[in-house]
Structure 1
Amino acid sequence: MPIHHRWNFNIDRFLNPFVPPPPWKYVPYPVSYWFGYRKTKPADTGNLMPIFWAFLGVFGAIAMIEAVSKHVASFAPHHVPNIVGSFGAAAVLEFYAIESPLAQPRNAIMGQVLAAVIGCGVGKLFLLSDNFEEIKWLGGALACASATAVMALTKTVHPPAGATALLAVVDSTLIQVGWFLIPVMLLGCTLMLGAALLINNLERRFPVYWWTPEDLRQPNSLFRRRHSKKKAPEAAADETKPEEGSERYVSDLEAATDKEAETEDAKHAADIIIKPGHVIVPEHVYLTQEEQQYLETLCKRL
């Protein structure tokens, strides 16, 4: 296996020790309820009611962002549009796919802000060229790719943010907005999050977590790997022939018990086990960060 296939980077290993655990259990329940905290598992709502609430949520959030944008005095001098197109995709995530890791507050806000910073930076860089109109397509590609890489490294992947970075370079209106796009995106994300907390918590639960599905009070992740216990054939052969009286000798009963345990381990070697408090995944199974977060989210809901 090439050495770069074993490279891994987990930013939470460095950030989580400084992130305090959520305070919702210490806040009065009528308040913490609207921030996604539940004492019991939420009831099933079927598949029609989520569609109904998603319709109301998307409509309300988009309309609210547009209405607020019209009444912010500083928006007109900076040529800010009523709404940035990427908020449409963000609304679908935050009001329908509300259990997806991509829709949680860390991703929805930080992903958009990071993408806005990168998009504006790349746009300003390419504007230094006299042939900007001819090469801005290349800047858009660079901005989108860079935003994706940064979001992946920071565990803030939010697909609509890729559109934000792209539009910041190729959209003529947003090019005029410049660095002012960052507070514009921050305001829009905050308004949408406020609407999501209200609409999504009427009959469902949002967010599933604010920063991470891991227990921030524990130093280790909920995510575990099942390590294989393969032995060399020679070693296995030696162990099957222990000499009585030696330190390696075990009784027939103990040997049978060990064999039964090994058989059970082999039977479940390919299983993904989700238990309250931790997730066990076979070592040979590859999971993306989003898939790991989703499994940890399911673990927290048990």
Structure 2
Amino acid sequence: MHPRILSVLDYDIDNHLNRIVPHSRVSRLPKPVSRFLGYRENEYKEPTRLVVVFWSFLGSLLGLLIIGAMYKYAPGLTRWNPPIMIASLGASAILDYNSIRTPLAQPRNAILGQTFSALTGVIIHKLFHLNSNWEDVQWVAGAVACAISSAIMATTNTVHPPGGATAVLATTNAEIIAMGWIYIPFVLMSSCVMLALACILNNIQRAYPVYWWTPADLKKEKDIEDLEQVSSNGSEKVLRGQSMARTSQADPDTVVISPHHLYIPDTFDLDGDELAVLSRLQARLRWDSAMDERPRADSSEG
């Protein structure tokens, strides 16, 4: 398969988002604060199994009790007649307070996965509701909502399994359907409350979250980009200002990279991302060459 087609099929949104997302500065906060945001100076070690069981039980219990009490007694919320409990939050509680080290339980997934799914479910219901006999195909709406929310979560790297149920409920549960668009902020609010409680309880003897946005080291990625001053815009513009040549030299399968020249065989059809990689390598060679020459220049001046 053509490399360009493969690069499209292997699309990863974080390749674009990580360039603009600021790296975590949690470690700079006062220790009491950074601790309850998941930061640890020393290597984390999971406590004994019964300790994990206790905190998982307490977190799930308190988290759902708080949500239920808000739905039942909060003056600003009760007027929307929410259900006693959004069932998918029970599944979220297992991830937020039990399997807290998995990627599926991290804040980005827990918040955005649920919110995207709620939005998807409401939109799908609204579209199916345009059909006068929509009750006859309500089961289809549930399946479509779940499938689309799954695709959206996978594309945005926000997979949170309870989100599937969140989308289905928006198309099949009468109480939630009656809420309409307000269902989305309810899900967002509930997810944020459960996350806040998770940061408190899970950091007493455990550590949560493992990361807030991505496990990648955003600081190192940005440092490399600043050093090399290279853009990955998907075209040969990434090599502007550099000596690049197409060549049919003796070895047609060899790419030659030097600090000031880049030779690519005519038989190579490279896309923008691949050209950017070569450009980064050349920028690194130029940097190393400049560092090697600096001591000699200084000594000659002396």
* 1:195 equivalenced with 2:192 (yes/no): no
1:141 to 140, 143, 147: 143
Q: Which amino acid aligns with 1:53?
A: W
Aligned match of 1:170: 172
Between the two proteins, what is the percent identity of the paired residues? 41
**CA distance 1:44–1:180, shift in 2 (3 Å):** closer
Aligned match of 1:264: none
Aligned match of 2:259: none
Aligned match of 2:70: 68
Residue pairs, 1:73-92, within 5 angstroms = 73-92=75-94
CA contact (8 A) 2:70 2:77 kept: no
Residue pairs, 1:6-155, within 5 angstroms = 7-155=9-157
Deviations 1:186-225 (A, max 9, x none): 11001100111111101110000000011111228xxxxx
Distance 2:72 2:78 in 1: 8
Q: CA RMSD of the aligned region, Å?
A: 1.8
Deviations 1:255-296 (A, max 9, x none): xxxxxxxxxxxxxxxxxxxxxxxxxxxxxxxxxxxxxxxxxx
Shift in Å at residue 18 of structure 1?
Answer: 1.2
Distance 1:44 1:168 in 2: 37
Deviations 1:69-105 (A, max 9, x none): 2233243332211320000000001111000000000
Deviations 1:8-43 (A, max 9, x none): 111011111111111111111111000000000123
CA contact (8 A) 2:118 2:167 kept: yes
Distance 1:28 1:164 in 2: 37
Shift in Å at residue 2 of structure 1?
Answer: 8.6
**CA distance 1:74–1:134, shift in 2 (3 Å):** farther
Distance 1:78 1:47 in 2: 41
Structure-2-length-normalised TM-score: 0.70
**CA distance 1:162–1:2, shift in 2 (3 Å):** farther
CA contact (8 A) 2:38 2:209 kept: yes
Aligned match of 1:248: none
**CA distance 1:161–1:33, shift in 2 (3 Å):** same
Distance 1:50 1:213 in 2: 23
My pick for the range that moved more, 41-50 or 2-11, is 2-11
Deviations 1:117-147 (A, max 9, x none): 1000001111111112111100111100000
Alignment coverage as a number of residue pairs: 222
Superposition misfits of 4+ residues, deviation over 4 angstroms: 1-6
**CA distance 1:44–1:158, shift in 2 (3 Å):** closer
Q: Which amino acid aligns with 2:147?
A: A
Structure-1-length-normalised TM-score: 0.70
Structure 2, unpaired ranges of 5+: 223-250, 252-302
Shift in Å at residue 5 of structure 1?
Answer: 6.2
| SS of corresponding position for 2:19 | helix
Q: Which amino acid aligns with 2:36?
A: W
Q: Which amino acid aligns with 2:61?
A: F
Distance 2:122 2:116 in 1: 10
Q: Which amino acid aligns with 1:93?
A: L
Shift in Å at residue 61 of structure 1?
Answer: 0.3
| SS of corresponding position for 1:184 | helix
Q: Which amino acid aligns with 2:148?
A: S
Residue pairs, 1:177-188, within 5 angstroms = 177-188=179-190
